[in-house]
Amino acid sequence: VPREDFARVVGQEVSVDQLVEDLAADLEGRAFEIAQVAGGWMFQTRAAYAPAIRAAADVGDQLLDLSEFDIAVLAAITFHQPVTRDRLKDILGQEISRDLIGTGPRSPRRGAPYIFVTTEQFLVAFGLESLHDLPDREQLEDAGVAAEVS
């Protein structure tokens, strides 16, 4: 639930952050939790209970099933966004088109190509509140992976 929607529902006289903290405290020790994702909150099952729920619902793991190339595309967009299709082609060596990315505004450069950015669904899929949750360039270099997303 985006912050704005939550605030509209509960009213301006209520502190959204305090309400979320209270809900989280009420859910302590239960199978559900409130998680911060994409600048809002999501009511979700705690990871420890997932196997039992999947077994009861007779469903398998709900994984993203991303290939190495999919991950490379997401990494390139995530760490270079906003990025143009041409720049992605330069980084990856081929054309791309994936569901967890979307077109952003047009680039200010000549020809005004569309640029690509990650979507809110990307944040939700990876359990991120915002892109600020990702490591910075220096951390990537220290880990020896910066060259892979350059």
Residues 73 and 29 grouped into a single domain: no
Instruction: Tell me the mean pLDDT per 10 residues along the chain, length 150.
Output: 82 83 90 85 84 78 73 82 80 71 76 78 83 80 62
Burial of residue 127 (CB within 10 Å: 0-12, 13-18, 19+) is: middle
Provide the whole-model pTM.
0.43
Residues 43 and 78 grouped into a single domain: no
CATH at residue 95: 1.10.10.10
User: What's the pLDDT at 150?
Assistant: 44
Residues 7 and 53 grouped into a single domain: yes
Here the tokens at position 42 are: 């999501």
- Give the range of the structural domain holding residue 16, as residue numbers without chain letter: 3-57
CA distance 1 to 33: 14
